[in-house]
Structure 1
Amino acid sequence: MNRRHALRHIALISGGLALIPSCDFSQEDILAAYDNLKITSSQKALLGAISDTIIPAGEIKGALDLEVHDFILVMVNDCFTSENQEKFSAGLNAFPDFVQEQSGKKFDALSTKEREQLILNAAKLEGDETEAGKRNGNISYFVNSAKRFTIQGYMASEYIQTEVVPYSLIPGEYNGAVLISDLQKPRVNG
């Protein structure tokens, strides 16, 4: 009886080994967290670099440090219509080619000033009914959406709301004798 199990396991293992050469491991895996979008890890990294260019780190944390690119993808995945999701994805797919055409380099290899200029140029693109016009319109839609959600996600992050600009749901007590110059941090009241 043990010999039968051993032969069965050997047959399964050899069959599996025979299938391995036919498997294609060259494609990037699509991230499962964003089921409506077909986003790969390299596209997510590109989106992180774009958001970091929009709000870079300095004295305070930047957009990449706060993982705003995850917020962007969640907002697009959950809140956009399927038509807008397709435009966003098409723009994200076309953006690396646009960068290559404009600068001759990949986005990661560019300096900060070159990245900023490329994002500004991409945001100003106008589309029309031609194939190139649709591509330009998708790129512009992608960059403008990414910019809007980068700012929204950054300003709504826990780090900004607790450490940089402390949020107070209820305004503090009124003290008319305090000079404005004596105030430490601004309070944002809801």
Structure 2
Amino acid sequence: MDLTRREALLSLAALLGTTVVAPRLLAATAAKSAKSPAFVAADLPLLDEIGETIIPATDIPGAKAVQIGAFLNMMVTDCYDAPEQAAIKAGVAKLASDYRARFNETFVGGKSANRTALLNELDAEQKKYTAGKTAAQPAHWFRIVKELTVLGYFSSEIGATQAVRYLEAPGRYNGAEPYKKGDRAFFN
């Protein structure tokens, strides 16, 4: 097939035009479909305390120091669909109301031992649920929160450099890095 100059220019214009217009169209669509956050700002202290109970501060800062509530909110909003978000939000709300009913105080202002006891019960519940669930059933909300807390903490600067020993590994691999019993684990 012979291509005339006119056809070539029209094809080229169409090709170049789509490379300029397509990203703008996609950006406009993305802006309209932006998700609203899974949790509101008032929920973040509760999420921080849940994270702090899972990874408490010792001589190393805990999960609250890395603003785990904001991380959980971002991950739940961006990575989970509406039914999973609803289950996580309902689970967090139930945790707060159960804690208030049981200990007559808020989870955020409550005693560390009481928070730990309640989360240990939730952990046992999620383990039992996970052991009996089918592949089609969703993960237990508390398991998701625990996994995201661990991910967020160890992905943060504090978690990667203070909780574990960070070894930058752009160079060669050294499988015989010195390690003494009691040293922090490696992270790279």
Task: Tell whether the structures are fold-level matches, with TM greater than 0.5.
Answer: yes
Gaps of 5+ in 1: 1-32, 129-137
Cα 1:163–1:105 shift into 2, 3 Å: closer
Cα 1:171–1:154 shift into 2, 3 Å: farther
CA displacement at 1:188 relative to structure 2: 3.4
Is 1:76 the counterpart of 2:49? The answer is no
**Matches for 1:1-190 after TM superposition, within 5 Å:** 35-37=36-38, 39-125=39-125, 141-164=140-163, 165-169=165-169, 170-171=171-172, 180-181=179-180, 187-189=186-188
- Give the AA of the match of 1:46: L
- 1 CA distance for matches of 2:174 and 2:69? 38
SS of 2:66's partner is coil
- 1 CA distance for matches of 2:149 and 2:112? 17
What's the RMSD between the two structures over aligned residues?
3.4
SS of 1:124's partner is helix
**Contact 1:168–1:187 (8 Å) recurs in 2:** no
- 1 CA distance for matches of 2:87 and 2:66? 26
1:125-172 deviation line (CA, Å, top 9, x unaligned): 4799xxxxxxxxx9x933322211111111111223234421322445
- 1 CA distance for matches of 2:44 and 2:120? 20
**Contact 2:60–2:162 (8 Å) recurs in 1:** no
1:35-92 deviation line (CA, Å, top 9, x unaligned): 152x232211111111111111111111101112211111111111211011111122
Number of equivalences:
143
The alignment-based identity, stated in percent, is 22
Gaps of 5+ in 2: 1-33, 130-137
- 2 CA distance for matches of 1:34 and 1:45? 21
**What is aligned with 1:3?**
none
Q: TM-score, normalised by structure 1?
A: 0.62
- 2 CA distance for matches of 1:180 and 1:52? 28
**Contact 1:51–1:63 (8 Å) recurs in 2:** yes
- Give the AA of the match of 2:79: C
**Contact 1:76–1:85 (8 Å) recurs in 2:** yes
SS of 1:64's partner is helix
**Contact 2:96–2:107 (8 Å) recurs in 1:** yes
- 1 CA distance for matches of 2:99 and 2:35? 25
Cα 1:110–1:173 shift into 2, 3 Å: closer
**Contact 2:51–2:68 (8 Å) recurs in 1:** yes
